A = this chain, B = another copy of it.
């Protein structure tokens, strides 16, 4: 019998996806669950609701709460945290690079490194130089990889992944979807998603 599976849907600009990315691999491994990283563009889904930026910017009380809450969560986990400016960061190019890496061996490490650069170091993840440095740190050749990330097949793949997220009913990030289609939204629901994934196996 194959290991139970869980899809981890996230946007590289999503705040709560940072702690989720940092903890999903050890937790899933402990639970005997195989995780698949599925980056997508949350902004495209927000746009359909008539939002041109994050709800954390549109609704100030919600935004203030989120920053404080994220700070608490990172402190509890011992994760460094620095608020990126501007928020949200432009995650399009990073998501495309992630898809190149997820088709190779270094995709998950790249995503985690992008989250650290953005939310622990406050770097601009929309910047090619920053992404190039992250790739170099993973011993991945930056120039060819950034070129591949701009190829038509990767662009189409990111569009189809975002469409698939929407089809699954995803409206925020992080979201977790089990093999039988159960959706769990939010970093704090990761444990429930892992339990569901093992139970429904």
Contacts and interface: CB of A to CB of B under 8 A. Distances in A.
Interface in A155-171: 166, 169-171
Interface stretch (A10-18, A57-65, A84-92, A128-136): A57-65
Given A68-B183, A183-B68, A188-B188, A170 B49 contact: no
Contact of A61 (B69, B171, B189, B192): B171
Contacts of A49: 59
Interface residues of A, number: 21
A185 interface: yes
Given A49-B59, A59-B49, A64 B189 contact: no
Nearest to A51: B59
Interface string A163-196: 0001001111000000000011110110010000
A64 B188 contact: no
A178 B80 CA distance: 25
A105 to B, nearest CB: 33
A14 B34 CA distance: 35
Given A169-B64, A169-B65, A188 B185 contact: no
20 contacts: A49-B59, A59-B171, A61-B166, A61-B169, A61-B170, A61-B171, A62-B171, A62-B172, A64-B169, A65-B169, A65-B171, A65-B183, A65-B185, A68-B183, A69-B184, A69-B185, A72-B192, A186-B188, A188-B188, A188-B189
